[in-house]
A = this chain, B = another copy of it.
Amino acid sequence: MTKKLAKSAISQKRVLDAAARIFRDFGYAGTTMRAIADEADLKAGSIYYHYKSKDELISAVLDIGIHAVIDTVQNALKALPEDASGRQRIETAIHAHLSAIIDIGDYTLATRRVFGQVPEAIRAKNMRLRNSYGSMWQDILVEAQKRGEFRADANITLARLFILGALNWTVEWFKPGGRTIDDVAREFSSVVVDGLLDKQAGEISGSAQPPSGPRVRAI
């Protein structure tokens, strides 16, 4: 009995993986059940044994996609010491988010490509998950601001939208084999936390402080 279930589960996974890859490459409407079936080494009709419809399939892919990001980021944050700084948390979260997006897979890529075209109901359901992810980020930033690490006059909500926007857009240009995720994460954190401004020169300058660490970063 377990065996039978197992076989079914394996097929189901194969279909899901195939679906993610195809949705990723062709978008929602551009994806055909036959294409998914081919990728999963099945016939189109057979998919319906595992998933009731195309919509149920895309819904599963979407949910797995965001869950993967949420889980990866949450786990990475949990692994930090209690007293980690805001900078550390942000850098960690950015790194984890990018890892999930880039590494973990076709699911997140499929999500990005497909999200705007999926039937409203499916999108709404997935959106709830994504919003809870947004809250997580908001908490990190608000917390750091409360502790005095971040400027009191910064608009945290807009900052969060800026950060998540930049992160999500990464998949549009990131190519494995070029820059590493580490580099990208570090530099993103640096822009967000420190800004581009040269504080030695300052705007009005006057300050003689050297940049506190060897923040050198050649590309």
Q: Which residues of A contact B (CB under 8 A)?
A: 26-30, 85-88, 91-92, 95, 112-113, 116-117, 141, 144, 148-155, 157-159, 161-170, 172-173, 179, 182-207, 209-219
Contact = CB atoms under 8 A, between A and B. Distances in A.
B28 A154 contact: no
A215 to B, nearest CB: 3
Copies of chain A in the complex? 4
Contacts of A166: 161-163, 165-166, 169
A74 to B, nearest CB: 17
Given A182-B219, A215-B153, A195 B192 contact: yes
Contact of A91 (B155, B191, B219): B219
Contacts of A197: 87, 149-151, 193-195
A213 B214 contact: yes
B199 A210 contact: yes
